[in-house]
Chains A and B, each alone.
Chain A
Amino acid sequence: MRLKSSSIEIALLLLVYLSTLYVWTLPLQGNTLPFGDVDASSHFTIGDYMLSTDASVLRTPYHITFRYGGQNNAFPDYLWYPPQYWTNAAIAQSLGGDRLLPFFLIVALFCSIIVLTSYFLIRALFGMWPALLSSLLLGFSTRDYMIYLWGQWPQSLSFALTPVALYCLYRYVGSYAASREETPGEKEEKKKEHLQRIIYASLYGLVLAGQFFFHPQGMIAAIGASLFFVLFLIIRDRKIPFSFRDMAIGIGMLIAVAVAFAPFNVGEFVMELLPQGGSGGQTQPPQYAKLFQWYQGISNDPGLPDFYFTYNKTHGSLDGGLLSWWTLPLLAMGIAALLMRRRSQELLMLAWLTSFYILTRLVIFGIGSRDIRMFAYEAHVFYPLIALGLLAIPSFFQVKYHSRLRAGLIAIFIILAIVVNGASAYKTLAGMQHSISRISPYQYGAAAWLRDNTPPEADIYDFGTLGFQNYAAKVKWMGVLAQRHFIVNDGKEQEGTDYILIDYTDALALHNEEYINAIRQFEQQFANATALYNQDNIRVYKANGLFPANA
């Protein structure tokens, strides 16, 4: 019995995606308690709050209003991002019948879906092997799994839709070019082709709207790549590759859907784009040197680790070493192959690469300060080029060796991808399984008690949870799990403290005597008070004027 070639392809893709999912869900295997830094907890809480109140949420809930209230410049009390990602999370929680696991499962699915959307585009442009190899590498992409671990989840899904938007545009311009050729055809057939073109134009607008719902950056990246693609086609063919009427349909779809389903967030987005506008749009003086640098001039964000701005660690192995550079020559060859061939599919990839280059250097043009965050899609552009570079190698040799050489190169690629990139990804993601940066079962228990036993607008001061001194991620997670406002240690809000949470668990887990003693000393002031909650080395006291006077 012979297997159909499509069956082999589906089986290989399934193998790649299941391996990706296995590695990406390592943090959830054996521990479903929350992880994620910075804004991760906020992406959990809106959906969680919707489900617990069984109602949609329009305004920022009290417990996070001190952090996110006012971030929507157009409607300061309203949600700062469109609600679609958080609603998806709430739906998953409801369908899964659990508060934590379905949320993190859907996040893992959404963050890793780039492996499939990239396959979809690259398969259509260059065939199975470039798509498969590129997707294999994407499954181990440090850029992508780090964003997943840090918790920039909506942004990740938004960027994952870029290949689909670009696919729609590619198919649209292809069918538009075919329709302009003077070929005899049935009137009915022409009508069908026109309808198909309208469908691609409309879908392009709809996918962009989807990107806007999750994070505008993905939409900007897709529009940037689209503009360069159109520009390159105009330069190559000396004619406009679209009809203005079709373009109006696509843009109309984007605007109508965005305004209809995220009406309170469109204004915020527009204000962000304006000079000096928005919270993320602080402009910086032009830095022209960045035009000639890739990472060196960009690594200026104290919130990002150094490896984020090195090629070998982000596209090879976090352990470094010579082998971690193995993709770089292939990337150079891939770019060279694009420049030499210049068919529409190569121009699309070049456009994507050019948009990446420009969007990661926006400050040069005095626009915003979000260029660093645009690095999130570097692997999405690089990895197909690396695969193309590899598969271009046989073209340098005699024809009779092509297929054997190609098979050998593919085998070497797969081995290196697994041994170098895969091993690094596995180590990092498995290391998160029982990391101290995650909420412990004791802390989750205390947060659940606070949710059930304190008033909704209670203000809680946390002393002891890891990073409490600078309001780090775990304290934010405690707040959203308790659905209560956890006070920032800025010396002002402490006046309104209703409850004090004393948490020894992290200090004990670290066996750090100094840390334990500092908490003990702080707790002394409650020596005559009775703890309302006292379990597993976590205690909750009513403030009763004991704090901040003695703090």
Chain B
Amino acid sequence: MDFSQPTHEQRWELGILALLAALSFLFWGMAGARTILGVALLFALPFYLLFGAFRLGESERLAFSFCAAVAAFPSVTYWLGFIMPFTTAIWVASLLWYAAAAIVILIFRKIRKRAPS
């Protein structure tokens, strides 16, 4: 995965996210834009990165990262919310999922390096 050279689809995805955020701002002000950007960057992006480790198509990657984000992100946040303030748990959960994505990417990169191409 190389974000210095985004694919054609990834350019579209970034554009769509920016458009959605702009439209939300236009319709509902800062709260609307914050909701869209917050959801995308804090809890959907880690899963999108994580699924980049597997051999999946772009549409698969988007669909699976949406499913994982809406199910797995709140699962971790909820249980963290018993040992720390809930609002802190949101950020900690996000950090944990970003870390998990990084670890999975590293592991798969190592496996691929070892395997003959």
A and B physically associate: yes
Q: Which residues of A contact B (CB under 8 A)?
A: 4, 6-7, 10, 14, 18, 25, 28-29, 32, 50-51, 53-56, 58, 83-85, 87-88, 90-92, 94-98, 101-102, 105-106, 109-110, 113, 116-117, 120, 123-124, 157, 161, 164, 167, 188, 192, 196, 199, 203, 206-207, 209-210, 213-214, 261-262
Instruction: List 5 interface pairs A-B (beta carbons < 8 Å), by A numbering.
Output: A7-B8, A10-B16, A29-B27, A97-B31, A214-B70
A68 to B81, CA, bound (A): 22
Assess whether A84 is in contact with B64, with CB atoms less than 8 Å apart: no
Extra A-B contacts (5), CB below 8 Å, given A96-B31, A164-B67: A32-B28, A56-B82, A96-B35, A164-B63, A206-B67
Majority-rule SS of A interface residues: helix
Inter-chain contact B67/A161, CB cutoff 8 Å: yes
When the two chains form their complex, are residues B74 and A96 in contact, meaning their CB atoms are under 8 A apart? no
State the CA gap A120–B66 with chains docked (Å): 12
Task: Among A29, A98, A110, point to the contact of B31 (Cβ < 8 A).
Answer: A98
User: Do residues A164 and B64 form an inter-chain contact, with CB atoms below 8 A?
Assistant: yes
Are B75 and A4 interface neighbours, CB within 8 A? no
* Interchain CB contact under 8 A, B115 and A188: yes
CB-CB under 8 A for A203 and B28, given A91-B77, A102-B35, A123-B59: no
Task: List residues of B (76-106) whose CB comes within 8 Å of A's CBs.
Answer: 77-82, 85-87, 89-90
Whether A105 and B74, one on each chain, are in contact in the complex, defined by CB atoms closer than 8 angstroms, is no
From A56, A85, A117, B79 is in contact (CB under 8 Å) with: A56
* B73 on the A face (CB < 8 A): yes
- How many angstroms between the C-alpha atoms of A25 and B36 in the bound complex? 14
Candidates A25, A51, A206; contact of B68 at CB < 8 Å: A206
Q: Report the Cα distance A54→B74, complex, angstroms.
A: 15
Most buried by B among A58, A88, A209: A88
Give residues in B with beta carbon < 8 Å to A.
8-9, 12, 16, 19, 23-24, 27-28, 30-32, 34-36, 38-39, 42-43, 54-56, 59-60, 63-64, 66-68, 70-75, 77-82, 85-87, 89-90, 115-116
Q: How far is the CB of B27 from chain A (nearest CB, A)?
A: 6
Which of chain B's residues has its CB closest to A262's CB? Answer: B75
A56 adjacent to B81 (CB under 8 Å): yes
CA separation between A118 and B71, bound complex, in Å? 18
Inter-chain contacts of A85 with B (CB < 8 A)? 74
Contacting residue for B12 out of A7, A18, A188, A206, CB 8 A? A7
A214 to B66, CA, bound (A): 14
A54 neighbours in B (Cβ, 8 Å): 85-87
User: For the complex, what is the distance from the CA of A29 to the CA of B26, rounded to whole Å?
Assistant: 11
Partner of A91, one of B23, B73, B79, B85: B73
Q: Shortest distance in angstroms between A395's beta carbon and chain B's nearest beta carbon?
A: 27
Q: Is the CB of B81 within 8 A of A95?
A: no
Kindly identify which residue among B35, B66, B79 contacts A95, using a CB–CB cutoff of 8 Å: B35
Whether B28 lies near A105 (C-beta < 8 A) is yes
Question: Do A95 and B12 touch (CB < 8 A)?
Answer: no
Are B67 and A101 touching (Cβ within 8 A)?
no
What are the 8 A-B residue pairs with the smallest beta carbon separation, nearest first?
Answer: A95-B38, A56-B81, A210-B71, A87-B74, A96-B35, A261-B75, A98-B31, A102-B35
Q: Is A261's CB under 8 angstroms from B79's CB? A: yes
Given contacts A4-B8, A25-B27, A87-B78, contact A106 B87 (CB under 8 A): no
Most buried by A among B54, B85, B86: B86
Most buried by A among B67, B73, B116: B67
Q: A56-B78, A101-B32, A120-B63 are in contact. Are A210 and B70 (CB under 8 A)?
A: yes
User: How far, in Å, is B36 (CB) from chain A's closest CB?
Assistant: 8
Q: What residues on A are CB-neighbors of B8 within 8 Å?
A: 4, 6-7
Q: How far is it, in angstroms, between the C-alpha of A413 and the C-alpha of B56 when the chains are bound? A: 33
Tell me the bound Cα distance from A253 to B90 in angstroms. Answer: 24
**Would you give the shortest CB distance from B74 to chain A, in whole angstroms?**
4
A165 closest partner in B (C-beta):
B67
Chain B positions within 8 Å of A117 at CB level? 63, 66
Nearest residue, chain A, Cβ from B71: A210
CA–CA, A161 and B66, complex, Å: 10
Contact call B86/A207, Cβ cutoff below 8 A: no
CA distance A288 to B87 in the complex (A): 53
* Residue in B38, B54, B90 whose beta carbon sits within 8 Å of that of A199 in the complex: B54
Could you tell me the distance in whole angstroms from the C-beta of A524 to the nearest C-beta in chain B? 43
